[in-house]
Amino acid sequence: MNEYLPGLEGVPATKSNISDIDGDKGILSYRGYPISQLAEHSTFEETTLLLLDGQLPTSDTLAVFDDQLRKNRRVKYNIRNMMMSLPATGHPMEMLQTAVASLGMFYPGSECLTGGDACADLDYVRNMTVKIIARMPVMVTMWEHIRNGYDPVAPRADLNYAANFLYMFTGQEHDPFVVDIFDKCLILHAEHTINASTFAALVAGSTLTSPYGVVAAAIGTLSGPLHGGANEKVVAMLKQIGSPSKVKAWLDNALANKEKIWGMGHREYNVKDPRATILQKFMESYIKQKGGKLSALFETALALEEVAQERLGAKGVYPNVDYYSGILYSEIGIPVDQFTSIFAVARSAGWLAHWREQLSNNRIFRPTQVYTGSPTRDYVPIKKRRAP
């Protein structure tokens, strides 16, 4: 195939049985289970095992996995010291990519990946997966304190994944209702077929680099505003609009100037992203729990969605997962620049599931190109060259 398709749109890059999207019906499923059912009934720990192993775990299997995650939350003090040497003004995603990449130096163990064949040692794959998924949220929360001049909050083994993350982030236990919503948010962000960051993970994994290198590559890709960083842009956009009364004029002006409407549209969906629908319901439940008063951001977001549907619905442009996730995180009290870090924490489950799948039938990625440069020509000594 020599046809060039920008962004590889529609070009299959791999075979996978991890997740699937029906863009016309607005259905996302993990291993065949609709995301709506998982968000209602599952937990992030259970969903992670589903992504990794291909089936819903038994209670005993889940208990063992949960215990492994809890026991692997601590990181060496060298990691903390390294973070303390980083600029406090650095973006959390830059810190996270640096910290994850450094884990391989403090926790070596890539022997299984050496040689010409991909690793078939599932114990190695599982152990590395547990260590990364367990430590990702710890490093995110450590940075929140370190960059503000404080010592990190120690992890607690008596709290589940979501509860411990929020506890380490603020130093306080959160309302179980908030913990449950946050847990569901992690489920929604855990996996989404072969998106840009997952593809980066596949390419890195195909070289048999360490899983730390795989996840670091994925984090760097996710940080871009056209991928995971869009949730930060949504909040900035809504603040710029200011209020529901200003939505129509703002949107008309943005469309006239061909500006991007952050959080709107998705290459895979012709209808509203199912994750956006679920997040909107979470937001409504949260507001009801807190007394029923709409926040300014949420009120503006609802108004913008309504007007955007009139203007852009016929083109299949609807809210995606980034549209409401940032608003919800803002309500919980999480700083805007940490939104994408949370995305990365959740998506580590999907990245590592794809890493495992890639290793099971590995072949290094080596795409071709359509060359558009000069034809073969002779070298000209510098004294004989003329200015163009």
**Percentage above 90 pLDDT, the chain:** 73
Burial class (CB in 10 A: 0-12, 13-18, 19+), 388: exposed
Would you call 22 helix, strand, or coil by DSSP? strand
For 136, other C-beta atoms within 10 Å of its C-beta total 25
pLDDT tens by residue, 329-361: 988 889 999 999 999 999 999 999 999 999 888
Burial class (CB in 10 A: 0-12, 13-18, 19+), 301: buried
Per-residue confidence (pLDDT) for residue 192, from 0 to 100:
96
Would you call 33 helix, strand, or coil by DSSP? strand
Per-residue confidence (pLDDT) for residue 180, from 0 to 100:
95
- Residue matched to tokens 């937001």: 283
Rounded distance between C-alpha atoms, residue 46 and residue 62, angstroms: 6
- The CA-atom distances, in angstroms, between 150 and each of 83, 166, 170 are 12, 17, 12
Rounded distance between C-alpha atoms, residue 185 and residue 165, angstroms: 13
172 — phi, psi (to 5°)?
-135, 150
Query: CB of 28 within 8 A of CB of 35?
Result: yes
Mean pLDDT, residues 143-151 taken together: 96
Catalytic residues: 266, 322
Per-residue confidence (pLDDT) for residue 109, from 0 to 100:
62
* Whether residue 27 has pLDDT greater than 90: yes
* Whether residue 315 has pLDDT greater than 60: yes
Q: What is the CATH number of domain 230-332?
A: 1.10.230.10
Per-residue confidence (pLDDT) for residue 331, from 0 to 100:
86
| Range(s) within the chain of domains with CATH label 1.10.230.10 | 230-332
Per-residue confidence (pLDDT) for residue 117, from 0 to 100:
55
Query: CB of 148 within 8 A of CB of 83?
Result: no
Mean pLDDT, residues 191-217 taken together: 95
Rounded distance between C-alpha atoms, residue 242 and residue 365, angstroms: 46
- The CA-atom distances, in angstroms, between 238 and each of 274, 295, 303, 339 are 21, 12, 10, 15
| Range(s) within the chain of domains with CATH label 1.10.580.10 | 30-228+340-360
83 — phi, psi (to 5°)?
-60, -35
Q: What is the DSSP letter of 24?
A: T
- For the chain, what's the residue count? 388
Query: CB of 73 within 8 A of CB of 157?
Result: yes
Domain covering 30-228+340-360, topology: Citrate Synthase; domain 1 (1.10.580)
Strands 27-30 and 19-22: what pairing?
antiparallel
pLDDT tens by residue, 122-142: 788 888 999 999 999 999 999
